[in-house]
Structure 1
Amino acid sequence: MSTRDRSSSLTDLARLGFAHFDEAEDHLRELGALVGIDRDVLLADAGRAADPDEALAGLVRIARRRAEPVRDALADARGRQVSWRLLGASHGFADFYLRRPDTLAQLPGVGRRLPTAEELGAALATAVGADDGGFAASGDDETWVALRVAYREQLARIAAYDLMHPEPVGVVHDVAAALADLAGAALDASLAVARTKVSGGAGGAGGFPRHEVEQARLAIIGMGKAGARELNYVSDVDVIFVGEPAEGADLPEARAVEITTRLAVQTMRGIDGIEAEPPLWEVDPNLRPEGKQGALVRTLESHVAYYDRWAKSWEFQALLKARPLAGDRQLGAAYVEAMQPKVWASAAREDFVDSVQRMRERVMEHIPADDVPYQVKLGPGGIRDIEFAVQLLQLVHGRTDDAVRQRGTIPAIGALVESGYIGRAEAAVFDRDYRTLRLLEHRLQLAGLQRTHLMPRTEAGLRALARASGLADSAGGVQQVWEGIRREVREIHVRLFYRPLLAAVASLPQDEGSLTQEQARDRLAAIGFRDPAGALRHIAAVTSGLSRKATIQRHLMPVMLRMFADGADPDYGLVAFRRISERLGETPWFLRMLRDSSGAAERLTRLLSASRYVGELMEWIPESVAWLDADKQLRPRTGAALDDEARAIQTRHETVEDAMRSVRALRRRETLRAAMGAVLGVTTIDQLSAALTTITEVTLQATLRAVRRALVADEDASLDFAIIGMGRLGGGELGFGSDADVLYVYRAEQVPPERAESLALRIVAEVRRVSEDFRLPLDLDADLRPEGRKGPIVRSLDAYAEYYRRWSVSWEAQALLRARGVAGSTKLIEAFTTLADDVRYPARPEEQALREIKRIKARVETERLPQRVDPPRHLKLGPGGLSDVEWLVQLLQLQHAHAVPELRTTSTLDALHAAVAAGLIGAEDAARLREAWLLAARLRSANTLLSGQTSDVLPTDRRLLDGIARILEYPPHSASRLEDDWLGTARRARRVFDRLFYG
């Protein structure tokens, strides 16, 4: 060949889509020599192949084994077209023809139409020699091989039609239906072989008389895509087996179940067992009652009893697509008829929403992270997103509307449109996108005749997919189509499901889809709203009208409804959003943020549906919504910044009342900031405790300054007064809802004692009065003072010294371990700290005092736990709870802090760390205690954030547990996991406590 001719030849190959020119030239020469066909004739249809290199290589491989079938196929014009299309799109078919070259003879006659279900059934029945009674001519393994060969011959007919159709997207539903019919025909043929095998036919296992096998009815129910007649080229076929005696037969039921179980096992083996011809696909019976642990075959009566008594909601959703697929059609029809009413009643079950959402999440959980961007089926914006949305709409509205009770996704979309549940525009796009995604899935599976849902990761793979699907001309083009559909599906799910809700309460275009009030309530209930009628009223309130705000809300509300529905308490989230919106009115920045910042809107819905504590504060401080645009605005402010603001307040206000209104506002605002940061995961537990402690300290300092300025005259200015933080306040360990434990102390060297005491009492009373906040209570608890509630609420420093010297008991020394000055005179705080150190860090602690502490701890566990509370659920006083960790640490401090200065800290965790460093406790023991203490502290705060009420008890309500888990950043539906984590953590900590505290 001349250089010019070679250049022209390479140009022709490039134009036809070949990528490996030298190899292609070699293969063309070899193929022409093997089959005796001119090069130009061979290449006439190569340009229509998805991967002409792959097709040519496949033809050469087959011709090397047997040239005649290849010559016959390529000599025919139609045969050439089919050969290039089929082998260019599927090296899996090339492998099949290499194993079975004689089957190439069929190619010239295929691809003009799809085979009917009757034709497919007849072809496979003939392959196994099945008679009218449903028995195959032979039960040997060669018959199963014949079945698989015949199956792939019929599969080639379907694939040829699919690949050669000018509009493959338009026929994807018909192709999927033909594939499902072929799967049913394969199961019928395999069942015929199984009947012969189990009845002792030639080469079979034997075991049952033929007349008994004849009397045993086995129905194979198709589930999932097989049931819906929307199957893939290579897909698991989900089935349920139903077996029982034929009507009028004298076969005992138990015997019939035994026989049909053997038939089911052998039928599955015929499809997916290891034979000379590779398996077709996996027969998956795990959707049966009790899954893998359940009986493979049950009678119809047994199935009905299970679904009446034990089935979970997801099992009814799985039955949505159930259809008699193979075996005894009459029994299969009876099964479906018995199950359908249960399917359409399932949306009314109490756990319906949770079950459906959990099913959706389980799909995502098992996708490897690297595969998510390539997942056509299971990833975001993929096939399963569309199917989930459509099925949920069907289950909601199918309770009362028979028209939407469709098995297939595409027919269901059409029915939902015709019934007015979704808008035509959205449905048209959803329908098109679903068909396109299914076409991509089909082409991906055709390539290797293997089950896959992953987009190619190579340029060559994408280019072949583009040509095979006809969706684009290049690798980049098909990638662009895929990415566009992913984005569109994610967006349209919201419009499809949620926008029609607005049509029930607001003025929207007619093609949006219209729902009656009752239908809208059903839909809201199905996605998790417990008061759907109230939700509709709130939706109407924020979206109705002609104002700019209402217009923006109408555009935003579908997205926000989805976000609220994903939250722990969508009802409260929606009502809180309405109240905040009404408070902010037409505020420009609020409308702009809702419109332009999807991140802020998502954070807002997450906050409001997760936390009543946050929602109630946001209603009073609606401008806090602006913080959602940036993490830095959600982080706690420094103590210095808060103190500067508090001091500035004092200079601006003359009266205590005016100053305290501003101080209370500061405290509410900063507590809300901390709460928002905690729910959104911006603030850690350590940062949160420090922030809440700082806020409380600044509040007390500002309060004391304001009260002192109002009450203390110039002549009494020498009176020193201080507030000592105790308990969690002293330890810097406050959580949401924690009391502020305090002691009040004064010193008056130049003020008469009686006057000083009177003035100190007035200061305490006024501090307690003006610090009261009905919105965010600040409980100043002085019960840890000497003599407890019976003792004076305030004492002089000398009186404290005298009391501790003469009368102090062990629990009072223990309480002082977390004493720390938080407000008032610095010199007085230093003096009190020196006094406290002598009491709480004794040089030689008395054994009797230590025994008394252990005795008191035992009493606390038995006497202070509330009645009817399960002790392990009490986060403070229960086994392994906060109290266990704190008392053990405090015991170590009383024993060793005099000798180990690092133990002289009011922080529980700092003291625990110091005890490890000093060798007083093992690192592993300390780790278990620390873990329990931190988790208990987080659970207490999360419980308060969720409900808006303080509680030390881990709730038993699964919904509340799930809400707490979400605040702690567990995945949705983690109630059981959270409960197990706490109980296990507390159990381990309690074992350490028992050994070290009482041992």
Structure 2
Amino acid sequence: MNVPQGRRSSTFTRLLRHGFTDPSAAERLLDSAELSPVRADPVLLDALGATADPDQALLGLVRLLEAQPDRTARRELLDTLIASKPLRDRLLGVLGASAALGDHLARHPRDWHALVMYEPEDLHPGVEEFERGLAEAVDPVSLRVAYRRCLLSIAARDVCGTTDVAQTAAELADLATATLRAALTIAQAAAPEDTALCRIAVIAMGKCGGHELNYVSDVDVIFVGEAAEGADEGKALQAATRLASHLMRICSETTVEGTIWPVDANLRPEGRNGPLVRTLSSHLAYYQRWAKTWEFQALLKARPVAGDLELGEQYVATLSPLVWQAAERENFVADVQKMRRRVVANIPAAEIERELKLGPGGLRDVEFAVQLLQLVHGRSDTSLRSGTTLDALKALAVGGYVGRVDAAQLDEAYRFLRSMEHRIQLHRLRRTHLVPEDEADLRRIGRSLGLRTEPVTELNRAWRRHSSAVRRLHEKLFYRPLLDAVAQLAPGEARLSADAARERLVALGYADPAAALRHLEALASGVTRKAAIQRTLLPVLLGWFADSADPDAGLLGFRKVSDALGKTPWYLRLLRDEGAAAQNLARVLSAGRLAPDLLMRAPEAVALLGDPSGLAPRDRGHLEQEILAAVGRADDGEQAVTAARGVRRRELFRTAAADIVASYGTEESPAEADTGALVDRVGNAVSDLTAATIAGALRAVVRDRWGDTLPTRFAVIGMGRFGGHELGYGSDADVIFVHEPREGVDEQEAAEAANTVVAEMRRLLQLPSSDPPLLIDADLRPEGKTGPLVRTLKSYEAYYRRWSLVWESQALLRAEPVAGDEDLGRRFVELIDPLRYPAEGLGEDAVREIRRLKARMESERLPRGADPTLHTKLGRGGLSDVEWTVQLLQLRHGWAEPGLRTTRTREALAAACAAELISGEYAAILDDAWVLATRVRNAVMLVRGRAGDTFPSDGRELAAVGRYLGYGPGHVGDMLDDYRRRTRRARAVVEELLYGA
């Protein structure tokens, strides 16, 4: 390529103009006497220049000429090339596109004769023509040679454009059928005694069954066997298995002529663990009892191709009704989509963008979408029951199940991507779906597809465009026609019937499809800008709703929010323009009752879902500042608490929405892996919000009764989960109240003021409201329910000095000031520190008392009928077990280990592990159980809208809890098993550390 301009020959220039990338090497080849006719004939040079890779085509031609047995044969080849345009286009086209077929021709130099003439049957040959081409094969080696000769003719028609990509794929499937028949004939000839014992049918699956095979692909099959008349069934199945195994070896094994393709029987019942051959009745029994959804999806393409075709037809006819009932299975759509996601998840990250078949926007996306729609609507419409993707897509469009424009775009994209796949595989005849990175490879592929100006640039642009179209339409394909069915636009367009729309919604998991259609009609009908934006949003939203445990609730919630905010200009713009906002809203609306209920009472909070930092929790200082400012603007205590509740409502929604989004994940951000951090974030946020709300109520009461200054200093001490920063959505706020008369104030006056504050705070916070209740529980105070609600600091000091019991020291481990006079709260903490971290730890009597109290609580407080293995608070290995174990470590060692002096359970557990008071393994087991139990309680509140300590009994609610915890559809049993297993391990640790077992 670096020859100076002046020294370039005319041949060099002509070669460069004809598309040769190494004209110097080509010129050297053409300088030989044997190739002088090629160099002298402009027609031949033009033909070489028209190939995908002229350099490769010329080299292949040289090798083919050199392989001819003598000068006469070489002359015959060249003369025919010059005289026959069909041979010239086909032979050179194959050599330029496929180095592997060039190798075949070099090994079998007379096979070029197969490309000389166009015959009528050669234009679109079928199985019979290919069977004739394979008829002389009597062993695996000769079968491979004959197979490649037939493949040569298919590739020639393909690269010359005589057949389109769909016809090429069908021819490849027909050649595979003929090859399976030939291989079975060879196997039967080798074992006539086995042949006499059994009937065997070969059922093609996958792309071979669908008449859309690649150049290089596994050929998926299922074998069915029956005993011949009078034969023993067991012996017949053994004989059929030997024949099937021999057939697979004939096709799959590598010989001196290479291999044909692997025969893959792993789609059979039980996969590779199941018997290779089953009787028809055994197949039927398996599919009736055990088959998974994907196995029925695979049967869409089942087609008898070899052996006893009558038996094969019986197989398809027997199982076909089961295939078309698959859409009635629970979680049908979710199962299909989960299988698709699993395929994508298994692609190496470095390859996903080059995956033509399996990656997002690839061939499998089209196939999965089409198959899903076939299974849903093929029950009632037999016109959809084609195993061929493009035929099925056309039928879906004709029937109105897919929009015509969408179908046309998918058809075009699928054809282009399959053409790319064919040309990639054809080069080396290797099974691959990765788009190469080498520029020469990309250039050859681009030119083979007719892209000649800038082949690499044009190929990449077209590939990305079609992939993007598939990616955009893959999810919407299932949902957009639902809108067309109700929106009453484009009167000439075929659309889903009402029955078909309901059928599709039921398959998606909607329990009330009629209501869903009413919601869609209300949202998407009309010609307003609002309706147009909804029609853009809803196909995607419907998919996200369908991915939840309660699609109906998600769609209903979306309609309610849209009705409330529909005239607000920013609402739909936010969902349309902010990528995460719409998906976050869909997740929140379909995850349960709590978050949607909060949102319905403050719909403007939708704005939080579009702000990248909108779901981050706000700290206590900012919350308290906002609530106190709102209280200051109110006219009286009731208005003040109403204002505080408004802030609390919005912030509870922020916390719940962040929790749901982190637990479910989005397309851009997967579910959060660190569930401990998620639990801590919720506990801190709800605890801070509760503290700020109580501070607001306190300010409102003091201002209404006394103005700026209360006659006594007053502090609220958080206890239990509140003091531990571990509140859940439905937790009560455990508190105790302490006061201290101001200088010059009578003690009785101070006490009356303090009691008035407590009574009025509790009244205001418990006024009837549709918000989640904020219940203040003061039962952990000295003397419990019988003791005074509020005491002076001195009274606490006297009580704890004289009367304090070990359980009270334990309760004080989580005492922390949360509102009121900061100095008084600090002095209260100083007062109780010696009780909760006793010098030299606990005596054995105190330890025994703690154990006695814990055992009594387990026997007396667990609700009647509750399953102790599933009760999150009092059950085996639940919150109480872990917390009492950690608290015993704090009481024993807190005096010596500063890290244990914390109100937070997980922090104390980590400190105990760091101090080697508990092993790392035990600490991890306890932490895991505590986090899991806390998440279950949070999930129950999110799903049901009311607190609960055990899993819901309602199936849909239980599934929603499972989705929050990361368990997909149909895996509720796994969730319960995992919970029992993890808490059982924790209980074993508790038995040892708390009870000394």
> Normalising to structure 2: TM-score of the pair?
0.92
Aligned to 1:125: 135
Report the CA distance shift for 1:3/1:904 in structure 2 as closer, same or farther (over 3 A): closer
- 1:767-818 superposed Cα distances (whole Å, 9 cap, x missing partner): 1221134312112222222333344433333333333223322211100000
User: Across the two proteins, how many residue pairs are aligned to each other?
Assistant: 967
Tell me if the contact between 2:18 and 2:46 (Cα under 8 Å) persists in the aligned partners.
no
Aligned to 2:723: 730
Aligned to 2:303: 323
Is 1:33 aligned to residue 43 of structure 2? no
Aligned to 2:212: 230
Is 1:216 aligned to residue 201 of structure 2? no
CA distance in 1, matches of 2:65, 2:922: 73
Tell me if the contact between 1:820 and 1:833 (Cα under 8 Å) persists in the aligned partners.
yes
Aligned to 1:813: 809
Aligned to 1:88: 96
Aligned to 2:581: 600
Report the CA distance shift for 1:817/1:164 in structure 2 as closer, same or farther (over 3 A): same
Report the CA distance shift for 1:788/1:513 in structure 2 as closer, same or farther (over 3 A): farther
- 1:749-776 superposed Cα distances (whole Å, 9 cap, x missing partner): 6555555444433322221221134312
CA distance in 2, matches of 1:351, 1:651: 53
Percent identity over paired residues: 49
Is 1:591 aligned to residue 572 of structure 2? yes
Q: Greater shift after overlay, 983-992 or 650-659?
A: 983-992
CA distance in 1, matches of 2:26, 2:680: 67
CA distance in 2, matches of 1:150, 1:963: 58
Report the CA distance shift for 1:496/1:73 in structure 2 as closer, same or farther (over 3 A): farther
Q: CA deviation at 1:672?
A: 1.2
Aligned counterparts, 1:124-273, within 5 A: 124-128=134-138, 143-165=139-161, 171-199=164-192, 209=193, 213-246=195-228, 249-273=229-253
Select the residue among 307, 328, 332 that pairs with 2:287: 307
Q: CA deviation at 1:65?
A: 4.4
Is 1:75 aligned to residue 79 of structure 2? yes
Report the CA distance shift for 1:460/1:944 in structure 2 as closer, same or farther (over 3 A): farther
Aligned to 1:507: 488
Q: CA deviation at 1:867?
A: 4.4
Aligned counterparts, 1:776-787, within 5 A: 776-787=772-783
Amino acid at match of 2:99: H
Tell me if the contact between 2:335 and 2:969 (Cα under 8 Å) persists in the aligned partners.
no
Aligned to 2:939: 942
> Equivalent residue of 2:477, what SS?
helix
Amino acid at match of 1:802: A
Q: CA deviation at 1:433?
A: 1.6
Q: CA deviation at 1:457?
A: 1.2
CA distance in 2, matches of 1:645, 1:902: 33
Select the residue among 47, 50, 53 that pairs with 1:51: 53
Select the residue among 700, 719, 743 that pairs with 2:694: 700
Report the CA distance shift for 1:812/1:495 in structure 2 as closer, same or farther (over 3 A): closer
> Equivalent residue of 2:781, what SS?
coil
Aligned to 1:205: none
CA distance in 2, matches of 1:534, 1:613: 22
Aligned counterparts, 1:417-428, within 5 A: 417-428=397-408
Tell me if the contact between 2:631 and 2:644 (Cα under 8 Å) persists in the aligned partners.
no
Is 1:334 aligned to residue 352 of structure 2? no
Aligned to 2:645: 664
Q: Greater shift after overlay, 684-693 or 812-821?
A: 684-693
Tell me if the contact between 1:73 and 1:83 (Cα under 8 Å) persists in the aligned partners.
no
Select the residue among 790, 794, 798 that pairs with 1:798: 794
Is 1:873 aligned to residue 859 of structure 2? no
Aligned counterparts, 1:282-681, within 5 A: 282-471=262-451, 473=453, 474-681=455-662
> Equivalent residue of 2:436, what SS?
coil
CA distance in 1, matches of 2:815, 2:75: 97
> Equivalent residue of 1:627, what SS?
helix
> Equivalent residue of 1:326, what SS?
strand
CA distance in 1, matches of 2:210, 2:593: 44
- 1:601-654 superposed Cα distances (whole Å, 9 cap, x missing partner): 222212222343221111111111112222212212232222221221232112
> Equivalent residue of 1:763, what SS?
helix
Q: Greater shift after overlay, 541-550 or 332-341?
A: 541-550
Q: CA deviation at 1:113?
A: 1.3
- 1:877-919 superposed Cα distances (whole Å, 9 cap, x missing partner): 3343332332222112111222333322212233233333434
> Equivalent residue of 2:116, what SS?
helix
Select the residue among 252, 259, 274 that pairs with 1:279: 259
Unpaired stretches in structure 1, ≥5 consecutive residues: 129-142, 200-208
Aligned counterparts, 1:704-723, within 5 A: 704-712=698-706, 717-723=710-716
Tell me if the contact between 1:390 and 1:409 (Cα under 8 Å) persists in the aligned partners.
yes
Amino acid at match of 2:711: S
Aligned to 2:124: 114
Select the residue among 884, 887, 891 that pairs with 1:887: 884
Report the CA distance shift for 1:61/1:678 in structure 2 as closer, same or farther (over 3 A): same
Q: CA deviation at 1:369?
A: 1.2
CA distance in 1, matches of 2:450, 2:312: 39
Tell me if the contact between 1:35 and 1:71 (Cα under 8 Å) persists in the aligned partners.
no
Amino acid at match of 1:319: L
Aligned to 2:835: 839
> Equivalent residue of 1:45, what SS?
helix
CA distance in 1, matches of 2:492, 2:78: 52
Aligned to 2:669: none
Q: CA deviation at 1:669?
A: 0.9
Tell me if the contact between 2:557 and 2:589 (Cα under 8 Å) persists in the aligned partners.
yes
Q: CA deviation at 1:120?
A: 0.8
CA distance in 2, matches of 1:917, 1:330: 73
Tell me if the contact between 2:524 and 2:531 (Cα under 8 Å) persists in the aligned partners.
yes
Aligned to 2:106: 98
Unpaired stretches in structure 2, ≥5 consecutive residues: 663-671
Q: CA deviation at 1:712?
A: 4.4
Aligned to 1:137: none
Q: Greater shift after overlay, 410-419 or 581-590?
A: 410-419
Tell me if the contact between 2:710 and 2:753 (Cα under 8 Å) persists in the aligned partners.
no
Tell me if the contact between 2:29 and 2:35 (Cα under 8 Å) persists in the aligned partners.
no
CA distance in 1, matches of 2:145, 2:487: 60
CA distance in 2, matches of 1:774, 1:753: 39
Tell me if the contact between 1:801 and 1:835 (Cα under 8 Å) persists in the aligned partners.
yes
Tell me if the contact between 1:727 and 1:819 (Cα under 8 Å) persists in the aligned partners.
yes
- 1:706-741 superposed Cα distances (whole Å, 9 cap, x missing partner): 112224489x93223221100111012223222211
Q: Greater shift after overlay, 698-707 or 418-427?
A: 418-427
Is 1:848 aligned to residue 845 of structure 2? yes
Amino acid at match of 2:754: A
CA distance in 1, matches of 2:956, 2:214: 38
Q: CA deviation at 1:243?
A: 0.7
> Equivalent residue of 1:368, what SS?
coil
